[in-house]
């Protein structure tokens, strides 16, 4: 398992889990034909899926359709359980750019059967993540441009201000369920514009001041 690397330091931290949110941007819920949730929708990715910028995303043999989803990730710095909203930011170490790679055909099948999403979200290499930028360098995590290109064509262009839950709300909610531990990753969901990628494609994700990812599919 690959550790997260804190930018401008040699410090490495190991996530015990990757918590992902679904449908946190109205327009993405619309493009998926999904209802907007009233509470966060969570799923987990295994930390074994983590890769770095410039590593390859491997197209799984059992899927015919994989998608990119560009997301802001929150990295936990201090363990906590039942963290109240007003203490949430003290538990954050920093932020990263994150790709929630998804085998959309396997996810659609799982949705149709009422099965979990673990297969469609959990393949090795399905969690590219940038180095961690410390929170002190990010003035307002709720106002960051998030842009994604596939082969130099812009596909996603949004801002974290359009998230329907705030980061402190998300931390409060998640930590009621599971202890958040240092190094854990919370992927806050993707804006509209998701789509297919194929072998040979190059994906670039940039989030203002937070980080940049560049990954090719093989």
Distance CA 83, CA 168 (A): 9
Q: What are phi and psi of 158, to 5 degrees?
A: -145, -165
Report the residue number, 69 or 168, with the smaller CB distance to Mg ion. 69
The DSSP bridge pattern shows strands 202-207 and 195-197 to be unpaired
Report the residue number, 23 or 91, with the smaller CB distance to Mg ion. 23
108 Cβ contact list (under 8 Å, min separation 6)? none
Report the residue number, 42 or 134, with the smaller CB distance to Mg ion. 42
Report the residue number, 6 or 203, with the smaller CB distance to Mg ion. 203
- Closest separation in Å from C-beta 10 to Mg ion: 30
Name the residue with tokens 């590219």: 128
Report the residue number, 6 or 28, with the smaller CB distance to Mg ion. 28
Residue ranges in 180-199 that form contacts with Mg ion under rule CB under 5 A: 190
- Closest separation in Å from C-beta 98 to Mg ion: 9
Which residue of 47, 68, 69, 123 would you call a contact of Mg ion, by CB under 5 A?
69
Which residue of 100, 168, 184, 208 would you call a contact of Mg ion, by CB under 5 A?
100
Name the residue with tokens 């998230």: 163
Q: How many residues bind Mg ion (CB under 5 A)?
A: 3
- Closest separation in Å from C-beta 187 to Mg ion: 6
At residue 54, the 3 state secondary structure works out as coil
Distance CA 127, CA 123 (A): 9
4 Cβ contact list (under 8 Å, min separation 6)? 12, 13, 14, 15, 50, 75, 96, 129, 131, 132, 183, 185
Stretch that binds Mg ion, among 81-89, 92-100, 103-111, 207-215 (CB under 5 A): 92-100
Stretch that binds Mg ion, among 53-61, 66-74, 86-94, 126-134 (CB under 5 A): 66-74
Chain residue whose CB lies nearest Mg ion = 100
Judge whether 42 and 17 are in contact, CB under 8 Å. no
Residue 12 has a CB neighbour count (10 Å cut-off) of 12
- Closest separation in Å from C-beta 8 to Mg ion: 28
Q: Is 170 in the site for Mg ion (CB under 5 A)?
A: no
Residues forming contacts to Mg ion in the complex (CB under 5 A) are 69, 100, 190
């Amino acid at each position: 398992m690959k550790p997260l690397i804190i930018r401008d330091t040699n410090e490495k931290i190991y996530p015990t889990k990757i918590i992902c949110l679904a449908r946190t941007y109205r327009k993405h819920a619309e493009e998926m034909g999904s209802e907007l949730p009233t509470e966060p929708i969570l799923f987990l990715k295994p930390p074994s899926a983590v890769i770095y910028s410039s590593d390859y995303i491997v197209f799984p043999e059992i899927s015919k359709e994989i998608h990119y989803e560009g997301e802001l990730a929150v990295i936990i710095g201090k363990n906590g359980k039942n963290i109240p909203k007003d203490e949430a930011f003290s538990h954050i170490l920093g932020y990263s750019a994150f790709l929630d790679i998804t085998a959309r055909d396997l996810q659609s099948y799982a949705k149709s059967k009422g099965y979990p999403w673990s297969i469609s979200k959990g393949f090795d290499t399905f969690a590219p993540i940038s180095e961690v930028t410390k929170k002190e360098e990010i003035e307002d995590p709720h106002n960051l441009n998030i842009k994604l290109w596939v082969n130099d064509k812009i596909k996603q262009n949004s801002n974290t201000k359009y998230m329907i839950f705030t980061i402190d709300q998300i931390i409060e909610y998640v930590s009621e369920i599971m202890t958040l531990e240092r190094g854990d990753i919370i992927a806050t969901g993707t804006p509209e514009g998701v789509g297919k990628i194929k072998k040979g494609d190059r994906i670039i994700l940039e989030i203002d001041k937070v980080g940049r990812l560049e990954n090719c599919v093989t």
